[in-house]
Chains A and B, each alone.
Chain A
Amino acid sequence: MSLKDATISWYIQHVLVPSVEIIDKPGFIITRAAKKGSTAYLRVLFLPEQVFIRLEEAGKKDEEVERALYSAGKKFGATWANLADFPKASKTPRGDFLNFISFLVQYVGVTYATKASHKVDLDTKRFEFEAEEYVVCRRSGLGAVLGSGGISGIWASLLEEPRIEGVQATCRGRGDKNCRFICAPKKTLQAEGYAVLEEPDLPVQGASKEYLKMNQVRVARHAKNSLKTLLDSGIFKSKDGKMLYGEERYLLCESHLVYLLEEQLRGAGEERLLFDAAFDYGKALAGGVKQQAGQFLADYLSALGWGDVLVSKVCGKYRVSVDCYPWVEGGDTSNFTFFSGLASGALSVIANKTVRLRKKETSTTHNALGVVFEEAP
């Protein structure tokens, strides 16, 4: 690593990362992406790596699922770049743009991997990202198609070239030295012999006023613990920019990801996969909890950014009410599958029976998204 990269890395780990997240408000985690003259606020979630491993495993067995994961990843990468108002290559001096890419790679490297490096060729629109210990594939050994999609989505957005795609050329989990992702125009990748997945339909919208209004931080009425509380008490640990709960790593993701995963997997007829993956993690999560399990679940979900969560039992059936659920445009018609799977799995362990929560009602009054889930008969 060059001295410049090392300096950037040190800066991100010791100065920037601790200050970019708002983590002391129960129900909310907010990233501030600041640049000259403006600040973008992103509603983010910490999501368990294990759920993504399960999805990637399913993707290796089913091409439709693999395509859906790639599309979700690419749309998410582009959405994140738009929301954070990353500079476009065409509107930024070359040197400034390359500096920004270095900065972004170090940020992604700290957050999702270790020892990240990159190569850029703006003339051929090629971007290579290499890292050790990349999330998901470090444990699955299967590669990460969602990650390929995500990186290509960011690069495609920065270059405003929807036809840029991404592949994972090497994977540490498969026994390669490092994980290496290559993003370039589809034809270039095909000419190099890579099997290329495709998602040409990229979102271009940045953070709307509605997004900022609906995700505005409010005082929680039910949740008592913020992520900071759980970090301060040692329940969660932050090490080298990574969030850990026991042995499980948690990934910082802007909240569009959970909606896009649901939408794309539903399109492939496999929404159930997302529910099941989240459900199994929810079961593992609640395994060791003996007392006040409902309170634990509400605190856990609220602390990870899912909103102000209230878990109760009405007429013997579980009800989970969430005020200030992470909002995205058009998302109120979602089934909220990731959340319902996670909560259902945890409640199944607590109740010692299979509990399946389903969306009962949503509301966007009071400038916030409210969602009620109830136990299905």
Chain B
Amino acid sequence: MIERVKTGVSGLDSLVGGGFPRGSIILVSGQAGAGKSVLAGQFAVEGARKGEKSVYLTFEQEPDALRQQLESFSFGKDIAALEKSGKLLIARVQPEYLRLKGKMGALPDALFKARLNISEDLRKDLLKKVKETGAQRVVIDSISSIPLALPREFDAGFVKELIMDLADEMRALGITCVAISELGLSPEWLSRDTYSEFISDGVILLSLSTVGATSTRTLQVVKMRGTKIDAGIRNFEFTAKGIEVEAGDA
């Protein structure tokens, strides 16, 4: 019997057999403004409230900006208290490589050559925060930022290996992980890197269509290993409570 963890998103659990399988990697993909960070925030806060230590790792957004965004919904009202109690950690991932790049503008050749050290630094930076807190839920916002956090010389195969290693370590630690991604540059790809959808155990696709004043947001569960999913396209809204998924599919 697969243990399920509640997502905290109204209407989502029933589409995935009662919640995400514990210890699984779930890719949440969508275009900018589709609601990925809010969904992931609900997932993290829900865990913290239930006593599961949760870590939200952001590559690009400042933690304060994210806190402000999540606190605008009722689910985010007690973020400060959850952080204070140690149940929730919102942290920025900034590996040594990026810190150096920020200081120096360009990196010396010698650093480019130290590929393994740089990727190891990134991996450690991510896992350190996870292990230190004993997290049971982790959000990576976003997995599409990982290649950007590495020197350009890192080829796609190397980045793929790094993401696979991270996913394996998360699984081994029994962590349920939501990994956010931008959409692929071609419609058949569900992630920007084109392979995270295969590495992940589950994929949730968020869509946003804006025509004039009419915005339409939809959610679709594309896959969830070991789960009988409801793959219908469902409308969702941002309400005062956060994301709420409608019951009827199209």
Contacts and interface: CB of A to CB of B under 8 A. Distances in A.
Contacts of B208: 221
Contact of A294 (B210, B211, B250): B250
Interface in A79-138: none
A316 interface: yes
Interface residues of B, number: 26
Given A26-B187, A313-B246, A314-B246, A221 B209 contact: yes
A66 interface: no
Interface stretch (A70-78, A267-275, A355-363): A355-363
B193 to A, nearest CB: 16
B233 A362 contact: no
B200 interface: no
Contacts of B216: 310, 312, 314, 319, 321, 372
A372 B187 contact: no
B51 interface: no
Contacts of A323: 209, 211
A313 B212 CA distance: 19
A233 interface: no
A221 B249 contact: no
Contacts, number: 86
B211 A312 contact: no
Interface in A287-323: 292-295, 298, 308, 310-316, 318-319, 321-323
A294 B233 contact: yes
A321 B208 CA distance: 10
Contacts of A370: 209-212
B232 A292 contact: yes
Contacts of B232: 292, 294-295
B239 interface: no
B246 A315 contact: yes
B183 interface: yes
Given A294-B232, A360-B214, A221 B250 contact: no
Nearest to B236: A312
B218 interface: yes
Contacts of B249: 294, 313
A321 B186 contact: no
Contacts of B187: 26, 219-221, 223-224
Interface in B195-244: 207-214, 216, 218, 220, 231-235
Contacts of A350: 250
A363 B148 CA distance: 35
Contacts of A224: 187-188
B90 to A, nearest CB: 29
B233 A295 contact: yes
Contacts of A222: 207, 209, 218
Interface string A341-372: 00000000010000000001111010000111
A294 B183 CA distance: 21
A335 B207 CA distance: 25
B186 A312 contact: no
A370 B249 CA distance: 22
A217 to B, nearest CB: 12
A319 B212 contact: no
Contacts of A322: 211
A316 B250 CA distance: 9
A339 to B, nearest CB: 14
Given A295-B233, A361-B212, A372-B211, 11 more contacts: A221-B183, A222-B209, A292-B231, A292-B233, A294-B250, A295-B250, A313-B248, A323-B211, A360-B214, A361-B211, A370-B212
11 contacts: A221-B187, A311-B233, A313-B234, A313-B246, A313-B248, A314-B216, A316-B248, A318-B250, A361-B211, A362-B211, A372-B216
Interface of B: 31, 183, 185-188, 207-214, 216, 218, 220, 231-235, 246, 248-250
- Which A-B residue pairs are the 3 nearest by beta carbons? A294-B250, A370-B211, A363-B212
